[in-house]
A and B are shown apart, each in its own frame.
Chain A
Amino acid sequence: DIQMTQSPSTLSASVGDRVTITCRASQPISTWLAWYQLKPGKAPKLLIYKTSSLQSGVSSRFSGSGSGTEFTLTISSLQPDDSASYFCQQYNTYPLTFGGGTRVEIK
């Protein structure tokens, strides 16, 4: 299985800050990577697919980059509504695997 390692596991930042989350794959996955936002009691939300493609309806404050084994999700200007957990997912190979998650808190 491809292991996905996210860092940090938790981050605390202020409104307006630029925030970056990293996801590393245990083997190359080309650009077959997605990012999701999870909030308690709500359906998870796809943010980014194919590393850098923004899902329809998602704020342009979210962006993704990377290839091979290292990827990042960036929130350009953190907003209160961004308080959530974020997960990466590789879809290069079965079984599909997710990162351990990053909890983003607002200071």
Chain B
Amino acid sequence: QVELQQWGAGLLKPSETLSLSCSVSGGSLTGYSWGWVRQPPGTGLEWIGEVNHSGGANYNPSLKGRVSISIDTSKSQFSLNLNSVTAADTALYYCTRGGGIYYYDNWGQGTLVTVSS
């Protein structure tokens, strides 16, 4: 049973960098993509991007180059960095397991990130 355990800072000031990490246990990173999805308060889900086990990544163009997702297979974890955050980046962030252009069959519990001055 794959489990995703995520962590990171929950309160940021505008212009700071959001950094979240997700640890994978109970399964291999190989053969899957590892992604991030967020849910702003009161709205729907937004795909942020994903990385494969080799480090190749795809991102949502709406984030205009602010996003970077990396993977460390030796530690069985992957990370999200989103720079120059604003209040619009306030959301519940989830890490996920997928398979490329695919659905997500495993999700982390979510981390609430609030951006406020």
Contacts and interface: CB of A to CB of B under 8 A. Distances in A.
B47 A43 contact: no
B47 A44 contact: no
Nearest to B43: A100
A9 to B, nearest CB: 10
Q: Report which residue of B44, B58, B61, B101 has the largest number of chain A beta carbons within 10 angstroms of its beta carbon.
A: B44
Interface string B34-62: 00010100011111000000000011111
Interface stretch (B11-19, B24-32, B107-115): B107-115
Contacts of A34: 103-104
Contacts of A41: 109
A84 to B, nearest CB: 13
Contacts of B101: 32, 91-94, 96
A46 B45 CA distance: 14
Contacts of A1: 62
Given A34-B103, A42-B109, A94 B44 contact: no
Nearest to B60: A95
A46 B104 contact: yes
A62 interface: no
B38 to A, nearest CB: 11
Given A43-B94, A43-B109, 5 more contacts: A49-B105, A87-B44, A91-B102, A91-B103, A98-B47
14 contacts: A32-B101, A36-B45, A36-B104, A43-B4, A43-B94, A43-B106, A87-B44, A89-B45, A91-B102, A95-B47, A95-B58, A96-B47, A98-B47, A101-B45
